[in-house]
Each structure stands twice: as C-alpha cells, then as structure tokens.
Amino acid sequence: MSRFYRQGNRSAPRSEWKPKSKIDDGSSNTAPGKPDSKIKHMDPDPRTDCLLKTKIEGSLDSTSCSKNDKSSVPEEFIFDDVAFDVNNLKQTLSALDDYDSSKKVNQFGDKSQKDDDNERSKHPVFDICRPKSSSSVPKLKPPLHVMNREKRNQSKQSMKGENIKILGPGMVLMKGYISTDDQISIVKTCRDFGIGDGGFYQPGSYDNSKPPGIPEKFSDMVKKAIQDSNEFIRGRSGSSNEGKVVPSMSPDICIVNFYKESGRLGLHQDKDESEKSLKKGLPVVSFSIGDSAEFLYGETRAVDEADKVTLESGDVLIFGGKSRLIYHGVTSIRPETAPRSLIEATNMCPGRLNLTFRMY
C-alpha cells in the first residue's frame, strides 16, 4: 500500500512530502520547527558536515557521530511506503523561504536512475552505531551516580504499567515501557535500515530508493502501548470517560529521528497525516531510546507557556484524541544519560533515537 510518493528533494520540509495525488495542489502544512519569533532560541545552530567529512576519510568511523559535531537537528528517515528524509532543519528553514515545489518536482521527474545513483553515492550513509572496537582496552567501571541511575531505571521497568502518566486528554506518557532487550533490538533494526537503501540520508540529497516497511514487531508494540494506555485510563476514570481514551490505530508511517547531543526540534504540530486521521485523533506514538530529551508540549507555539517533561530511554509517549495537534518539540538532549547496557549492546553513538508512528 503506497500512501506517499517520494518527491525527490530530500531537503524539502516534511510537509512538502505529500500523497501523490496532492503533488501539485500547493497545500502545505506548517513545517516542523518553522521559525517564529517566540521560538527563536530553539532555532538550530549551524552544523558541520560530518557525513561528508566521513566520506572523505573513506570510512564510517566515529567521526560520523563525533561528540564535537555541531549538529543540531535530528537525522531522520521514514519507514514504510513513505517518503524518507534526513531532516536538516537549517536547510528545511531556508528551503521554506525559497522553495518552489513545482520546479523541484519537475527536476525530480527529469532525473534518470543514473543521476540518482550518482547523487546517492556522493552522500555516504549515516550510521547511528560506532563500529565495535577490536582493541582489548579494559572497560572502566562507570561512576556511582551513573550506576544508581541505571538501577532506578531498571526498577522503573519492573513496574511496567504502574508508571503511566496522563499528561492531557489523549496524551499519555508510559515511563520505562520498552524493555532494555526491545530497545536494543529497535536500535539494531534502525541501524540496519538506516545504513541500507532507503535509510538515513544526508540533507539535500535524494534518490529513488524505497523506504523499508515497518517491522511487524514495531507495529505490535505500538498497538499494545495504545491498548495498555487505554486500560490504564479506563481503570482510573471508569468507562464513563470513554472520551479520554486514545483511538486505536495501525501505523503505516514511522519517522525515525536521530538527535546528536546538540540536537533540537522546534515546537511544531504533526499534521501531515490525512484529514480523516487527524479528525479521528489517531495518535502519534513516540518511542525514545538512548539519551534523555527535554520535551516541550503545549496548546500554542509559545515556548514560555509550554509544559516540559523528560523523555528517557524506554519511554513511550502517545498523543491522540484531543491532544493530537498539540505543539511539541525537543529543547535539548541530556548527554550521557543513555542506559549503559544499551550502549554496550549496540555501540550506539551518543544521542537519542526517536521513532514516531502514525497512521496516514
């Protein structure tokens, strides 16, 4: 089932990726993080072209996820039959100023497969995991506060289901919901897809590769999370409060973001899905893995009026129903907060992996 059609220009804002039938209709939703005087301080910093640097060096080593890079927007791709992008917000924002959609669509239409192959070969893959070191350097024991934090997080996980918070109508935060094993498997799957055809991509480049389908395991986890959150809501407020439950859905879009330690995402609404989906309040289900993020959400785009919550590795955040169009964004990533066991098992680069599932 093909819902979206790749537009060709991967530096275009996500809102430019429209279903094929809408290519030329000129309608466009607000792009994530579109500048606004109120969110000025959340605008991205310039980023170094770390991917290109990696290519020049001829290998995908730790430079692709170096702590020193100035990247401030998440790398991104989309699962499924859907367009795919690394969303460099800086480019996105400038693209918003001078974007001529009809021209870009035509350019894409004129391109041959060879051009696309050349284009892709210019831009090496983005790897969210470091290659395993072959050296036998002994590992240092982490500091006590890190070990204590790990223990606290593990005990949170064992309280599965008891750690659910209702943040608003249809907005539910499930702390430590994803087990460490599942987090590890998600990182590995995203890494494999990310370095493959249709995976993570450098801004400004594009090709014809097809995004991978959403793994069944991921979809099952999403459906189960919605179910569990509803059970919790019903248990708390009784069946008279049906209006508060989150509508169920079967995701057919998954956007994968990788935030480096300097990563941010400006306040925005997710409204690129179909009118029907938005009207029904079909939820966005978000998985957080790796370093913690400061997540803002609110009814308007005003940062100073927004509420804040920390999203930690293993947390699932759901916003649907009346909260479906909530403004949200990521103000910062907290370095070195990812669970050690996750990093040891995956060699994931410093930063945060985020998956948001939606139904078109």
Ligand X SMILES: O=C(O)CCC(=O)C(=O)O
Interaction site with Fe ion (CB under 5 A) = 270
Which CB atom, from 64 or from 354, has the smaller least distance to ligand X? 354
CA–CA distance, 360 with 356 (Å, rounded to integer):
12
Does position 319 bind ligand X by CB under 6 A? no
CA–CA distance, 345 with 187 (Å, rounded to integer):
10
Would you give the end-to-end CA distance of the chain in angstroms?
11
CA–CA distance, 23 with 21 (Å, rounded to integer):
6
Least distance between ligand X and beta carbon 312 (Å) = 11
Whether residue 41 is annotated as binding a ligand: the answer is: no
Least distance between Fe ion and beta carbon 319 (Å) = 9
Does position 328 bind ligand X by CB under 6 A? yes
**Total site size for ligand X, rule CB under 6 A:** 13
- Partner that binds at residue 257, options ligand X, Fe ion, none, CB closer than 5 to 8 Å by kind: ligand X
Does position 331 bind ligand X by CB under 6 A? no
Which residues within the stretch 115-144 sit at the binding site for ligand X (CB under 6 A)?
none
Using CB positions, name the residue nearest to ligand X. 354
Whether residue 228 is annotated as binding a ligand: the answer is: no
Which CB atom, from 76 or from 207, has the smaller least distance to Fe ion? 76
- Partner that binds at residue 286, options ligand X, Fe ion, none, CB closer than 5 to 8 Å by kind: ligand X
Does position 255 bind ligand X by CB under 6 A? yes
Using alpha carbons only, how large is the chain's radius of gyration in Å?
Answer: 20
How far is Cα of residue 320 from the mean position of the Cα atoms in its chain?
A: 17
| Pairing outcome for strands 284-290 and 171-174 | unpaired
- Do 319 and 283 touch, CB atoms closer than 8 A? yes
Does position 330 bind ligand X by CB under 6 A? yes
- Partner that binds at residue 330, options ligand X, Fe ion, none, CB closer than 5 to 8 Å by kind: ligand X
Query: Which of 286, 313, 323, 346 forms a contact with ligand X (CB under 6 A)?
Result: 286
- Partner that binds at residue 323, options ligand X, Fe ion, none, CB closer than 5 to 8 Å by kind: none
Does position 337 bind ligand X by CB under 6 A? no
Sheet holding 284-290, edge to edge: 75-79, 253-259, 352-358, 284-290, 316-319, 171-174, 164-168
- Partner that binds at residue 265, options ligand X, Fe ion, none, CB closer than 5 to 8 Å by kind: ligand X
Query: Which of 7, 291, 356, 359 forms a contact with ligand X (CB under 6 A)?
Result: 356
Taking Cα atoms as reference points, which of 287, 330, 323, 292 lies closest to residue 308?
330
Least distance between ligand X and beta carbon 5 (Å) = 20
For residue 37, give both structure tokens. 């005087």
How far is Cα of residue 128 from the mean position of the Cα atoms in its chain?
A: 13
Query: Which of 11, 153, 257, 346 forms a contact with ligand X (CB under 6 A)?
Result: 257
Does position 258 bind ligand X by CB under 6 A? no
- Do 245 and 230 touch, CB atoms closer than 8 A? yes
Least distance between Fe ion and beta carbon 328 (Å) = 6
Does position 354 bind ligand X by CB under 6 A? yes
Render 275-319 in DSSP notation, one character per residue. Answer: HHHHHHTPPEEEEEEESEEEEEEESSS-GGG-EEEEE-TT-EEEE
Least distance between ligand X and beta carbon 345 (Å) = 22
Looking at the chain, which runs of residues are DSSP E strands? 75-79, 164-168, 171-174, 253-259, 265-268, 284-290, 292-298, 307-311, 316-319, 327-334, 352-358
Which residues within the stretch 4-63 sit at the binding site for ligand X (CB under 6 A)?
32
Looking at 94-208, which runs of residues are DSSP E strands? 164-168, 171-174
Name the binding residues.
Answer: 268, 270, 328
Which residues bind to ligand X, rule: CB under 6 A?
Answer: 32, 255, 257, 265, 270, 286, 293, 295, 311, 328, 330, 354, 356
Name the binding residues for Fe cation.
Answer: 268, 270, 328
